[in-house]
């Protein structure tokens, strides 16, 4: 008896220790399950597919363009919503792409019809090949053609036209239009092929690249009373400035501007906060081709940037909140020919990219 008791105590002690270890392990497992249950689901990898078009695409126009606005009111799309329409075409055909509750749909149209939708984008007096910007009653375009420092078409002025209100009458009357011009300045020209109409904190502004010699800047044109003029401008630096993207990129509630400055074979993405009389650089990063388009990937109201990489072989999804950081980089089947077009936001978002071989890639972030 006296010798058996210690052995029994050891066995019971071992069983108790084992139970405590098992209970501890079970507790850790429960904590892990609870932690996983409270964690956000992992974000799916972006996917790329090719739109099933029967023709080679040479032109694409996104939401807000002359062609897209014309398509929205043409009767081609019975339930078209503003900002969800793009138009593509080539020599052998065209299509209107629209995003609805059932996803992305394609309406085939003749190439001539697609060209007709875009026919008014270069008004009389505009620089040949340029496109005007539209925002409600206001239109703006590059005018007074000149040759830029690189030999490409440029403009000495930006012309702004605005339809004026007309009193209701039984007799039809012509709509009065006010016209203003904004000069690039001595030895300067406006370049880039297009003026952009953007909303900066609730007010309409126009964006245009301004070039003097081998240096370029982004001019912000605003209206004070009845006068349009350059109200802010990024510093002039060596290289060229392309189309800009505008959005609440930093989550501050104020619109900021993203652009790519190209110089000496390098494309630098720059993020600017626009202030009266000037602009403040919030950040910059190398390795990109053009500014791309604002894309609200998660539907939280703070857009990211869908932007081609410098060699155009991939599309980067970039956050500008708290600095410039890539969230993902998606390889394209072939290099991109132009910047992306964005339809929708959040889970329903589609990013369309015209490729060099005439196909259109559809990226689902």
Phi, psi of 5 (to 5 degrees): -60, -45
Cα(158)–Cα(161) distance, integer angstroms: 10
**How many CB atoms sit inside 10 A of residue 107's CB?**
15
Q: Is the model more confident about 169 or about 349?
A: 349
Cα(312)–Cα(316) distance, integer angstroms: 10
The segment with the largest mean pLDDT, out of 55-59, 103-107, 161-165, 242-246, is 55-59
pLDDT single digits (tens) 162-180: 999 887 877 777 889 999 9
Q: How sure is the predictor about 264, in pLDDT bands with cuts at 50, 70 and 90?
A: confident
Q: Are 80 and 335 in contact (CB under 8 A)?
A: no
pLDDT for position 2: 41
Residue showing tokens 């000149």: 146
Task: Quickly count helices (H) and strands (E) in the chain.
Answer: 3, 26
Which tokens go with 128? 């040949």
DSSP conformation letters of 64-120? TSHHHHHHHTSSSSTT--TT-EEEEEETTEEEEEEEETTEEEEEEE-HHHHHHHTGG
Cα(94)–Cα(134) distance, integer angstroms: 23
Which tokens go with 242? 């392309």
Cα(221)–Cα(198) distance, integer angstroms: 10
In terms of DSSP H, where are the helices of the chain? 4-38, 66-72, 111-117
pLDDT for position 265: 78
Which tokens go with 240? 């060229």
Q: How sure is the predictor about 31, in pLDDT bands with cuts at 50, 70 and 90?
A: very low
DSSP conformation letters of 106-145? EEEE-HHHHHHHTGGGS-TTBPTT-B-EEETTEEEEEEEE
pTM of the model: 0.84
CA-to-CA separations, 341 to 38, 62, 66, 94, 203, in angstroms, rounded? 35, 5, 14, 16, 24
E strand or H helix at 211, and its extent?
strand 203-212
Q: Which residues contact 17 (CB under 8 A, 6 or more apart)?
A: none
pLDDT for position 19: 46
Q: Which residues contact 2 (CB under 8 A, 6 or more apart)?
A: none
**Average pLDDT rounded to a whole number, residues 121-142:** 95
Sheet holding 341-343, edge to edge: 47-50, 360-364, 350-354, 341-343
Q: Are 291 and 243 in contact (CB under 8 A)?
A: yes
Cα(328)–Cα(297) distance, integer angstroms: 11
* 7 SS3 class: helix
pLDDT for position 74: 86
Nearest in space to 218 (alpha carbons), one of 186, 188, 253, 251: 188
Cα(52)–Cα(205) distance, integer angstroms: 37
Lowest mean pLDDT, pick from 39-48, 51-60, 93-102, 240-249: 39-48
Q: How sure is the predictor about 44, in pLDDT bands with cuts at 50, 70 and 90?
A: low
């Amino acid at each position: 008896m006296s010798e058996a008791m210690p052995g029994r105590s050891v066995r019971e002690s071992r069983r108790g220790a084992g139970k405590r270890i098992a209970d501890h392990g079970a507790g850790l497992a429960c904590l892990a399950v609870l932690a996983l249950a409270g964690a956000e689901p992992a974000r799916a990898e972006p996917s790329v597919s090719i739109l099933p078009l029967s023709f080679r695409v040479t032109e694409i126009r996104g939401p807000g363009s002359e062609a897209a606005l014309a398509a929205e009111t043409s009767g081609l799309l019975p339930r078209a919503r503003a900002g969800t329409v793009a138009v593509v075409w080539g020599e052998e055909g065209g299509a209107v792409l629209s995003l609805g509750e059932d996803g992305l749909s394609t309406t085939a149209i003749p190439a001539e019809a697609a060209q007709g939708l875009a026919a008014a984008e270069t008004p009389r007096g505009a620089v040949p090949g340029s496109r005007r910007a539209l925002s409600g009653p206001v239109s703006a375009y590059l005018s007074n053609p000149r040759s830029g420092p690189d030999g490409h078409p440029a403009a000495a002025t930006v012309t702004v036209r605005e339809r004026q209100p007309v009193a209701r009458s039984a007799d039809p009357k012509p709509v009065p239009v006010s016209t203003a011009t904004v000069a690039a300045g001595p030895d300067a020209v406006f370049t880039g092929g297009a003026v952009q109409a953007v909303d900066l904190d609730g007010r309409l502004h126009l964006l245009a690249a301004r070039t003097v010699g081998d240096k370029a800047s982004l001019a912000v044109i605003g209206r004070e009373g009845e006068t349009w003029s350059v109200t802010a401008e990024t510093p002039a630096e060596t290289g060229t400035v392309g189309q800009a993207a505008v959005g609440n990129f930093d989550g501050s509630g104020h619109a900021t501007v993203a652009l790519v400055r190209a110089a000496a074979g390098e494309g630098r993405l720059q993020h600017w906060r626009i202030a009266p009389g000037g602009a403040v650089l919030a950040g910059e990063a190398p390795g990109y081709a053009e500014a791309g388009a604002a894309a609200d990937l998660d539907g939280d109201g703070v857009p990211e940037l869908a932007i081609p990489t410098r060699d155009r072989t991939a599309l980067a999804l970039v956050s500008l909140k708290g600095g410039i950081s890539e969230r993902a980089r998606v390889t394209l089947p072939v290099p991109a020919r132009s910047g992306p077009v964005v339809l929708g936001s959040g889970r329903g978002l589609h990013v369309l990219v015209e490729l060099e071989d005439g196909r259109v890639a559809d990226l689902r972030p």
